[in-house]
Amino acid sequence: MTIQERDKNVVWHPFTQLKNSPLPISIVRGEGACFYDENGKRYIDGIASWWVNIHGHSHPYLAKKISEQLLTLEHAIFSGFTHEPAVQLAERLLKRLPINQSKIFYSDNGSTAVEVALKMAFQYWSNQSISKTKVIAFENAYHGDTFGGMSVGSRNVFNMPFSKLLFDVIHIPVPVKGKEQECLAAMKNALKEQDIACFIFEPLVQGAGGMVMYSEKILDELITLCNNKNVITIADEVMTGFGRTGKFFASDFLQNKPDIISMSKGITGGVMPLGATSSAQFIYDAFLSDDKMKTFFHGHSYTGNTTACSAALASLDLFDKSETFENIKRIELQHNVFRQNIKWHPSLIDSRQLGTILAFEIKTKEHTHYLNSIAENISAFFTSRGIILRPLGNVLYVLPPYCISNIDLQFIYTTIEEFLDYTSTS
């Protein structure tokens, strides 16, 4: 039996309708920005393996640091115990995070980093016996697949089976170009209610919602409105963190700093699962009490996993070298040149870019977004040419590991152009 047949017998894959689905590609090796399948075919990982990979696959330095950690201390309970990698990672993240951030809470992934942020915000109020339980979030948002994450996310086909079980959230329009005033008005209106606990947002780029972008200026205004009404602000930096947008965090573009920040995806360079939620001192202080009921009763078996923390530290070592941000700038520039060349193509509705994220909205006959059948055609077109791009509905995007070579980037661009020509004639 091939590995694909064995897979079909026993494995349930994420986000995949497994009835009549094409067999998954069996990857045996990764190197730099590429994968190799069992037949030796090379694939450029154009989407950084679901937005997690930063420095390339099977990076020798990361592998060395992680294996050293594994042979020293692989994992330890994190309640009542601590260890150097978790402490050092918190110290080094706080140096990179906005100045108002002062504590790090660890979890395992992006959804849990968001759950932790929401629970911190809700309990911040309940610890002070203030009844505030409502959340403001953007329409079209994605904050993960756990119940809290789904609740604050947009209501769509992905969470429809659970819609009755999700808590109430006030969704306001995304302040894309031309919608800023509508968004501000909706925010002001929402803030008239007394019981708003927090406002959660993906700063500057809504990832899963189709790489939808909006300006830092409007986000600064929204945060000011929240600050004036004592509403906690939560930046979900799970996708935007670790250099994706051209700065270390998307929050670095802002004048007003969020109170809580969720991180995951790129935190370990894409090697190990890890989530982290940072908070401002005033949030943390609201949990300090002689009353045990005010404790933050949240944790995971693998909270602060030693090996994952060591992976994150090794990834930060690479960020400390000038090469990483030089690569980010290089990608940013090339994305921009390509976008300027292609943006009037008749197959495009829109194109957008921030940092290393480049997105194209493609004209289709169907009006549905997420389940648009063009997505499968696009994936197949690129996979056959040795490029991994998985569009979000009709939004095709490139979000590569920062080590991608110019040759591979150019190959992605020329293949996109070929695809656009092909869709405009078919």
Ligand X SMILES: *Cc1c(COP(=O)(O)O)cnc(C)c1O
**What minimum distance in Å lies between the beta carbon of 322 and ligand X?**
28
Among 122, 125, 138, 142, the residue binding ligand X under the rule CB under 6 A is: 142
Q: And the tokens for 424? A: 């405009």
**Contact set for ligand X, span 259-298 (CB under 6 A):** 264
**What minimum distance in Å lies between the beta carbon of 265 and ligand X?**
6
How far apart are alpha carbons 164 and 142 in whole angstroms? 18
207 binds ligand X (CB under 6 A): yes
Listed ranges 109-117, 249-257, 365-373, 389-397: which one lies at the site for ligand X (CB under 6 A): 109-117
The partner residues of 398 in beta bridges, in order of sequence, read 358
239 binds ligand X (CB under 6 A): yes
How far apart are alpha carbons 44 and 30 in whole angstroms? 10
How far apart are alpha carbons 382 and 378 in whole angstroms? 6
Listed ranges 110-118, 250-258, 325-333, 405-413: which one lies at the site for ligand X (CB under 6 A): 110-118
CA 346 to chain centre: 30
Residue of 57, 28, 59 lying closest to 45 (CA atoms): 57
236 binds ligand X (CB under 6 A): yes
247 binds ligand X (CB under 6 A): no
Residue showing the smallest CB distance to ligand X in the complex: 110
202 binds ligand X (CB under 6 A): yes
Q: Which residues contact 314 (CB under 8 A, 6 or more apart)?
A: 61, 62, 64, 65, 66, 269
Q: Please compute Rg for the chain using Cα positions.
A: 22
3-state secondary structure of 395: strand
238 binds ligand X (CB under 6 A): yes
How far apart are alpha carbons 264 and 87 in whole angstroms? 17
**What minimum distance in Å lies between the beta carbon of 192 and ligand X?**
28
**Contact set for ligand X, span 143-172 (CB under 6 A):** 143-144
Identity (one letter) of the amino acid at 271? Answer: V
**What minimum distance in Å lies between the beta carbon of 267 and ligand X?**
10
258 binds ligand X (CB under 6 A): no
Listed ranges 26-34, 141-149, 331-339, 404-412: which one lies at the site for ligand X (CB under 6 A): 141-149
How far apart are alpha carbons 367 and 373 in whole angstroms? 10
Applying CB under 6 A, which residues contact ligand X?
Answer: 109-111, 114, 142-144, 202, 207-208, 236, 238-239, 264
